[in-house]
Amino acid sequence: MPRLHLPVVAEVTGVIPAAGAVPADPLVDGFARRIRYLRVSVTDRCNYRCSYCMPESLGDQLVFEQRSAVLTFEEIERLVRLFARLGVRKIRLTGGEPTVRKGIVELAARVANVPGIEQVVMTSNGHLLGELAAPLAAAGVSAINISLDTLDAGRFRELTGRGDLARVLAGVDAAVAAGMRVKTNAVALAGVNDGELVALCEYAWTRGAVPRFIEHMPMSDGALYAPEAELPAAQIRRILEGALGALVPADRSGRDPGPARYWRFAADPASGREVGIISAMTEHFCDDCNRLRLTATGALHACLGHDDAISLRDVMRRGGSDDDVVRSIAAAVTGKRAGHAFDLDGTGGPRKHMIGIGG
Ligand code: SAM
């Protein structure tokens, strides 16, 4: 049985700063990185039980947050307004599984209507997108990353515990039909889906989507990490090049400095076919990180790979003013680390869980 520290949402380690001057530029960190992007986990609950994230085998060890501990829509909207005032322009709604949060379409619309917010995007397992893609797009969600680790229905079920591949594929089609920009995300796992990397790319490209592969990360104190399944970015590229020809870096100008590095194929520059690789383990991408992460319970994490967090919920629920919240945001940003500290043997990762922080 994996050793998980529960509850599943990471604890808060930061100290809420006492009153004082509000910093002039609260969203610039100690490495001169400017924050423009906030990932908001809207729930720690999920309708899937992915083996590397929150497996069914955890049974009673899986304890979810009390509903009263989770931020209300009003609290989320207040925080998004404050972040927008400070310079955040992009919000990602994630989870858990964001589509299982009751009222998610209303929440998306509220966030999209905040002055200053230019992009609202989502990360989802796709299970409910058949019904929700069109209303979410109408509410202002312009892009969606859909988790898709395999195209084999049996393997999909096994990996996701309760997943239904047909529903997810219908969800991808619904998102494309609703006019969202779509990316597919596969955690690349040796011995599991390494034989499907090319098929996953072809699947995405034929739908106008961008396929991406994510290196497996030792979240949860490495409890669910299998070093033998690690598929480093260089190996992912070798597999793709073996089948599809030489990869060259895609032009990064005009793109958000996201965690993925994008590649295109040297032999067919005109096709526009690209593939993204998120190499948190072997090729850090932290130098231009512009992100913060807010958990479902309002803990602000400056880095996925470290446990430090400050509870903005506590500041708000103690009656804190907007300036109090901003001081807390500034404290989290000031403490943002230079980069991840994951090790390939599964050590060095954070105690927190992907399900709590929102991936
Ligand atoms: N439920 C949504 C989904 O499935 O996309 C959003 C949350 S999920 C935690 C976000 C992403 O994190 C998914 O693409 C998932 O595959 C990825 N993920 C979860 N655990 C991971 C791990 N240990 N290493 C790398 N990626 C992981």
The C-alpha atoms of residue 70 and residue 99 are separated, in whole angstroms, by 15
For residue 280 the two structure tokens come to 């948190």
Provide the β-strand partners of residue 38: 91, 292
Name the burial class of residue 300, with classes exposed (0-12), middle (13-18) and buried (19+) by CB atoms within 10 angstroms of its CB. buried
Which residue of 4, 93, 147, 172 sits with most ligand 1 atoms within 8 Å of its CB, as the best mutation to test the pocket? Answer: 147
The C-alpha atoms of residue 4 and residue 10 are separated, in whole angstroms, by 11
pLDDT at 135: 98
Residue 349 Cα to ligand 1 middle (Å): 15
Question: Which helix (H) or strand (E) is 160 found in, with range?
Answer: helix 153-160
pLDDT at 179: 98
Amino acid in position 340: H
Query: Which residue ranges have their beta carbon within 6 Å of ligand 1?
Result: 46, 52-53, 94-95, 97, 123-125, 147, 185, 187, 214, 216-217, 219, 354-355, 358-359
The tens place of each residue's pLDDT in the chain, 359 residues long, gives 344 444 444 456 666 676 778 888 999 999 999 999 999 999 999 999 999 888 888 887 788 889 999 999 999 999 999 999 999 999 999 999 999 999 999 999 999 999 999 999 999 999 999 999 999 999 999 999 999 999 999 999 999 999 999 999 999 999 999 999 999 999 999 999 999 999 999 999 999 999 999 999 887 777 777 888 889 999 999 999 999 999 999 987 777 777 899 999 998 877 889 999 998 888 877 888 999 999 999 999 998 888 888 999 999 999 999 999 999 999 999 989 888 777 666 666 676 777 767 66
Contact (CB, 8 A) for 328 and 16: yes
pLDDT at 225: 79
The C-alpha atoms of residue 176 and residue 169 are separated, in whole angstroms, by 11
Q: For ligand 1, atom 18, name the residue with the nearest CA.
A: 359
